[in-house]
Structure 1
Amino acid sequence: MSHEVRDVMNITDIKLKDLSSNPAPLGLMGFGMTTVLLNIHNAGFYPMDAMILSMGIFYGGLGQVIAGIMEWKKGNTFGTTAFTSYGLFWLTLVGINLLPKLGDNFAGLAMSKPAFAAYLFMWGLFTLYMFIGTLKATRALQVVFLALTILFFLLAAGNYLGDAAIIKVAGYEGIFTGLAAIYTAMGQVLNESFGKKIIPL
């Protein structure tokens, strides 16, 4: 065998080590903080306002899409699907709230309660399937996705039935969901920063 052929064969054996950072904490924080703030509203503490919509566009929305693209680069199909999808969820949610307010031409686009319930139900179904994907991941991530599944179904039921009490319960459950995501994000950041398990996941 010639030296040239051996050199080509050796090149195919080279493995590249990925030294890029973990994008999951960015996605989890964007999701977690925005979810907490929205669900404080759902729990009845303050109205829907520009703070929630801005978080939905920039941190919950664009931040998670960026995290999803970074996960794609790392070859993580689950992370790509989850972060990109939930980032786009926040952007669509902002659109649902803002489009009917853009003038008379958009006034007829206001979403009915049954339509909004169907929207939330489909996100709950998506999240249920994603929860199954976490069963081989950390317990903390399982808690986040299970809580989020429950949240979507509670919100879907509350909107379909027009029941403010269910939506209020969903608000408190959503605060827990967001805090669970923040906990998971900070666990990953601090454990990596200290090089040991500071926060159990």
Structure 2
Amino acid sequence: MNDIYKITDQTANPGPLGLFGFAMTTILLNIHNTGFFPVNSMIMGMGIFFGGGAQFIAGVMEWKKGNDFGSIAFMSYGAFWLTLVFIWLAPMFGVEKPDGNAMGCYLGMWGLFTLVNFLQTLKGNTTGKLLFGSLTLLFFLLAAGNFTGSEQIIHVAGWTGIICGFIAFYEASAIMINKKYEKNILPL
């Protein structure tokens, strides 16, 4: 085939956008889970617009690039943030607030989904393994904390989530910095 008919993909890598959306929102929510401040409009705003919206957009961009894993992960975790904020806000409109068992089931399902994603990272870089491994642990700890009502488990989950968020922040930073400098400055 003649080269003049080939289309070259010149779109940006959406990975850092999705990773930063995940990272920053996860860190802030888990600072709450460690007990430093209550859920507030800052966390909800981040959850809707950066954790939810930006990740979902990054997922659509990954889909356009043909990246199944990135597409499903970013769109799903973007939807996670949107559903979580809805769960927090829905009682203001007369929808019953979920109890610990319901939240445990919700978070446990996200843990199971994340475990499937973690298994896929075993063929990838170390940072991806650490990110999805810590995220799997985070969801299962949050589920256990909600099922048992244990604030101690929730606090441990919070510290796990902060670490997980910083791993994602590092990965997003590494992708951008390594590309800009055209060499491996921050290893993945």
**Which residue among 99, 105, 109 is the counterpart of 1:122?**
109
Amino acid of the residue matched to residue 170 of structure 1?
A
- Written as runs of structure 1 = structure 2, the 5 A alignment for 1:73-92 is 73-92=64-83
- Written as runs of structure 1 = structure 2, the 5 A alignment for 1:1-201 is 10=1, 15-102=6-93, 106=94, 108-201=95-188
**Aligned position for 1:6:** none
Distance 1:196 1:12, change over 3 A: closer
- Report the Cα offset of residue 12 of structure 1: 10
**Aligned position for 1:4:** none
- Report the Cα offset of residue 195 of structure 1: 0.4
3-state DSSP class of the match of 2:39? coil
- Report the Cα offset of residue 57 of structure 1: 0.1
- Report the Cα offset of residue 11 of structure 1: 5.3
Instruction: Using the aligned pairs only, state the percent identity.
Output: 53
Once residues 132 and 156 of structure 2 are traced to their aligned partners in structure 1, the CA distance between those partners, rounded to angstroms, is 18
Once residues 109 and 20 of structure 2 are traced to their aligned partners in structure 1, the CA distance between those partners, rounded to angstroms, is 23
Once residues 9 and 70 of structure 2 are traced to their aligned partners in structure 1, the CA distance between those partners, rounded to angstroms, is 16
- Report the Cα offset of residue 15 of structure 1: 4.2
- Report the Cα offset of residue 17 of structure 1: 2.5
Once residues 121 and 61 of structure 1 are traced to their aligned partners in structure 2, the CA distance between those partners, rounded to angstroms, is 19
The Cα RMSD (Å) is 1.4
Once residues 78 and 121 of structure 1 are traced to their aligned partners in structure 2, the CA distance between those partners, rounded to angstroms, is 21
- Report the Cα offset of residue 47 of structure 1: 0.6
Once residues 115 and 3 of structure 2 are traced to their aligned partners in structure 1, the CA distance between those partners, rounded to angstroms, is 40
The TM-score with structure 1 as length reference comes to 0.91
Once residues 134 and 85 of structure 2 are traced to their aligned partners in structure 1, the CA distance between those partners, rounded to angstroms, is 22
What is the total number of aligned residue pairs between the two structures? 188
